[in-house]
Amino acid sequence: MKTRSIAGAVVGALLLLPLAACGSDSDSGDGNVDQTDGIDVDLPDGGPKRIVAQSTIAAALTQLGLGDRIVGTFGPLEGPDGGVDSQAQGLDPSTVEDVTGAGDYGDIDEEKVASLDPDLIITSTYIKGDYWYMSKPIHDSLGKQWDIVVASYDGLDLPGQIEAVQDLAEDLGADLDSDEVTAGKAAFDEASAAAKTLGEQLTAAGKTALAVSGSVDSFYVSNPAVSQDLNYWTETLGLPITIPDNPDAQGYFETLSWEDADKYNADLVLVDDRQGEAGVQALKAQPVFAKITAAQNDAYTPWTSVYPPTYQTAADLLTRFTTAAQGLL
């Protein structure tokens, strides 16, 4: 194999994390890291031919033309209502080996990974050191045999996340000038322009939306200020999505009891779709939540809070929201 540098243009957005037993010097060897002038990994000429990746970023790479190189995935594949999970849109589960382990969150079946003989393993992180669907012990164990690229979204806005993954895909051999990729960017630009106009209209009409999820004991109001997609929708496009006034310590949402589920009124409710239709039905079963305007008007729309970071997927999800919100005018 030939050492091929994943260029320094992606450094800061993409981190090849060292093994516990390795330093960050530029020594050669599987799993080692050169963080001084780029990220060096041992890859075959033309990029890796066999990739094992977390299902969300695997789906993004598939949309960017690298689907024939994805041989295994870990993380969600099938959604709660059947079909492909929203976190893995674009993947065909029948074409990949699911190497998700049978243990707790973050477990990966290392024997299955070995049987696939990957050139590279890829996951992502929203908080540095917290690997998406890969526990730290699993990361360190896998890293003794294979290079692991971790795409970091920490501190990046929505377009920044998408561009980071595109940069990674290009370094892995994707053609970003393909018709599919350029059409995705055009669709995103068109959807964003339409949403910006709609945001002005909704604001003028005094209409608001609320992004929520729930558990047996608690009601969660998502915070657009720290959610990359909702932040882009509110700050850049001007869509009137409520920002909770008392977020939890990490800032992602405000936790309320169901007795206080009517704290924020809204004309449209965005329901985290990781629970599928069961999430909507759980909201409808709550008598206090039933008091808000959206609940009285049965105004619910799915919100995909985690999805493959590509322009096409972002365009599709934004269009889904604006189509629902258009009905408020």
Per-chain mean pLDDT for the chain: 86
In terms of C-beta distances under 8 Å and separation of at least 24 residues, what long-range contacts does 75-80 make, across chains too? 75/100, 75/132, 75/133, 79/276, 80/274, 80/275, 80/276, 80/277, 80/278
Q: In whole angstroms, what is the distance from residue 62 CA to residue 72 CA?
A: 12
Is the pLDDT reported for residue 37 higher than 70? Answer: no
Cβ(31)–Cβ(74) under 8 Å? no
Give mean pLDDT, residues 65-89: 92
Is the pLDDT reported for residue 27 higher than 90? Answer: no
CA neighbours closer than 13 Å in the CB half-sphere of residue 288: 11
More confident residue, 46 or 43: 46
Is the pLDDT reported for residue 47 higher than 90? Answer: no
Domains in the chain, CATH or no CATH each: 2-175 (3.40.50.1980), 180-326 (3.40.50.1980)
| pTM of the predicted structure, to 2 decimals | 0.85
Cβ(303)–Cβ(271) under 8 Å? yes
In this prediction, residue 20 has a pLDDT band, given cuts at 50, 70 and 90, of very low
Instruction: Please provide residue 133's backbone torsions phi and psi, each rounded to the nearest 5 degrees.
Output: 60, 30
pLDDT at 82: 82
Per-residue model confidence as pLDDT tens digits over 179-214: 999 999 999 999 999 999 999 999 999 999 999 999
Q: In whole angstroms, what is the distance from residue 209 CA to residue 229 CA?
A: 14
More confident residue, 3 or 52: 52
Check residue 251 and give left, alpha or beta (phi > 0: left; psi -120 to 50: alpha).
left
